[in-house]
Copies of this chain bind each other. A is one copy, B any other.
Amino acid sequence: MIKSALQIAREKYIPKVPAALKGSVKIVEGEKTQSVADQAEIEKMFPHTYGLPVLSFETSDEKKDYPAIKVGVILSGGQAPGGHNVISGLFDGIKRLNSNSQLYGFLGGPSGLTDNVYKELTSDIIDCYRNTGGFDIIGSGRTKLEEEWQFEKALENCKKLGIKALVIIGGDDSNTNAAVLAEYFMAKGAGIQVVGVPKTIDGDLKTEMIETSFGFDTACKVYSELIGNIQRDANSAKKYYHFIKLMGRSASHIALECALQTQPNVTIISEEVAAKNMTLDDVVNQIVDVVVKRAEKGENFGTVLIPEGLVEFIPAMKTLIGELNDLLAKFESEVNNLESNKERREFVAGKLSKESAEVFTQLPNSFANQLLLDRDPHGNVQVSMIETEKLLIDMVKAKVKALKKEGKFKGKFKAQAHFFGYEGRCAAPSNFDADYTYSLGNAAAILIAEGKTGYMASVRNLTAPADEWLAGGVPITSMMNLERRHGVMKPVIQKALVNLDGAPFKKFAENRDDWALNTQYIYPGPIQYFGPSEVCDLPTKTLALER
């Protein structure tokens, strides 16, 4: 690997950790836990790992001896800044407890475990990846560990290697699966522990004990850097509206955090759209309203933030997409045999419910075509391929044109579309994420050494200086409820959507009218690693407001 100047300088950074992780650790058991809902059912599904207590780590005078162990680690799902530091924190953590302990990385995600593809992570390797972004140290993958044959394979491969514990670094799904695997190993008496680490830039893996998932901080700061730069451009050229879609399909935490950091003119929050039962047209009108009012002040420029998952939160669109999925599966060959897009649209419109047909026929043609053409191998509409930012631009353009004809709009509307996602997922972690992930890795090492399983590593009190952070473990089952997935009720970690009664949304809602009309942009600039603490070490606004 050829290292950049920053990478070389950054290798020397020593992550800050909670005081309790610096010396010997004593484990303090809290109250026994319950799952957030469906307690009886979930207890039945997790007879061995349900109801465990929350664990807190405290400084201890007693020096304990731990045996040498072999630990396996897996990166699961989408990249998030700090993954490498979880692994280096875990490595340093197990080595500190016994220098003969070994760490194995399963390659390419959970499939590495079932396929038995791995490498030992030695200090040479680890040192190359300290404080860097990416998951390239062992790669990641999206295979889900859900089936019994996978659990059996995992068991077989762990036994072969002599692995005593697995650390699974992942989002809500991966941690759910970690809990199921922990239970499975317990039931089998396999003697293999499973510990989870909360990862996702989306910020939707969050509870009282898991204040934030790692990567959210860095990713939002990268996106906010770019949004700020674009806003400065908008405010200099005074020529364009910039529609910026932000990654994160299932929740709008990223859009909300970026809005708090940069104060754009419009930010759509999917959860609010769903709660207010808004139509696509309502969303467009909300933007048009701002465009018209700004034009009256002579300002024909601005920024609009759009969460990636918006379309699926618009109730009427969700229904339409569901109907389209059924229809396109049923009439696949008929639709494909039609000559033109126009014929396809008309064919489909004739078969949709009255409500959905109305929604569908009012969509711009190019977008309606997209819904019919871009389908996944199962024939489903690929929602992630929908260019919502361009759709909204087209629809705003059409409305504004109509208003102009009526004499109700005298300004100009020109727009540029952007989508930010890949730009932030593998950024080098901010000091916050570097510290947080390293501490999580350390905490996972202690949970393992203490024989715990079915736990997620937890580091809390994150708005205080790192020294005062509280480390410990939370039983994964305590975050679960039952949800219908593919027709079957399954135990899953409840996704944390944006809470419309929470402080971050309220702060946004109180200020958005001001931000909409009076250009109040903030330009955060790029993540800094070496400067004053108030520049380099601040957590997200979401975290600051929630705590």
Contacts and interface: CB of A to CB of B under 8 A. Distances in A.
Contact of A525 (B140, B340, B428): B428
Contacts of A7: 523, 525
Interface in A219-264: 222, 225-226, 228-230, 232-233, 235-238, 242, 263
A275 to B, nearest CB: 29
Contacts of A426: 229-230, 232-233, 236
Contacts of A238: 108, 139
Interface in A145-176: none
Given A7-B523, A422-B242, A538-B5, A236 B132 contact: no
A425 B233 contact: yes
A425 B7 CA distance: 25
A235 B235 CA distance: 36
Given A79-B236, A233-B79, A526-B527, A9 B422 contact: no
B237 A9 contact: no
A530 interface: yes
Interface string A416-460: 101000111111100000000000000000000000000000000
Interface of A: 2-7, 9-10, 78-79, 108, 132-136, 139-140, 222, 225-226, 228-230, 232-233, 235-238, 242, 263, 340, 342, 416, 418, 422-428, 520, 522-532, 534-535, 538
B525 A528 contact: no
Contacts of A418: 422-423
A423 B5 CA distance: 22
Q: Considering the complex of A and B, which 10 residue pairs feature the smallest CB-CB distances, nearest first?
A: A526-B526, A530-B531, A232-B426, A134-B232, A135-B236, A6-B525, A233-B426, A4-B524, A136-B236, A134-B236
A411 to B, nearest CB: 16
A535 B529 CA distance: 11
Contact of A423 (B9, B230, B236, B524): B230
Given A133-B229, A134-B523, A528-B530, 12 more contacts: A4-B228, A5-B538, A6-B535, A9-B535, A79-B232, A135-B237, A139-B238, A226-B423, A230-B423, A233-B426, A526-B527, A530-B535
29 contacts: A4-B228, A4-B524, A5-B534, A9-B535, A10-B525, A79-B236, A108-B238, A133-B229, A133-B523, A134-B232, A134-B233, A134-B523, A136-B236, A140-B236, A140-B237, A222-B229, A222-B526, A226-B423, A229-B423, A232-B427, A233-B422, A236-B426, A340-B342, A428-B526, A526-B526, A526-B527, A528-B530, A529-B531, A530-B532
A229 B524 contact: no
A233 B78 CA distance: 9
Give chain A's interface secondary structure class. loop
A222 B4 CA distance: 14
Nearest to A263: B2
A235 B136 CA distance: 6
Contacts of A135: 236-237
Nearest to A261: B4
Nearest to A221: B526
A274 to B, nearest CB: 28
Given A139-B236, A139-B238, A229-B423, A6 B528 contact: yes
B133 A232 contact: yes
A2 B226 contact: no
Nearest to A133: B232
A422 B427 contact: no
Nearest to A430: B526
Nearest to A12: B532
Contacts of A78: 237
B230 A422 contact: yes
Given A229-B422, A530-B532, A535-B9, A428 B134 contact: no
A242 B522 CA distance: 30
A6 B134 CA distance: 25
B9 A531 contact: yes
Interface hub of A108, A524, A525, A535 (most chain B Cβ within 10 A): A525
B528 A229 contact: no
Contact of A136 (B140, B232, B428, B528): B232
A11 to B, nearest CB: 12
Contacts of A530: 528, 530-532, 535
Contacts of A242: 422
Nearest to A531: B530
Contacts of A524: 4-6
A300 to B, nearest CB: 13
A535 B525 CA distance: 17
Given A79-B236, A136-B236, A9 B532 contact: yes
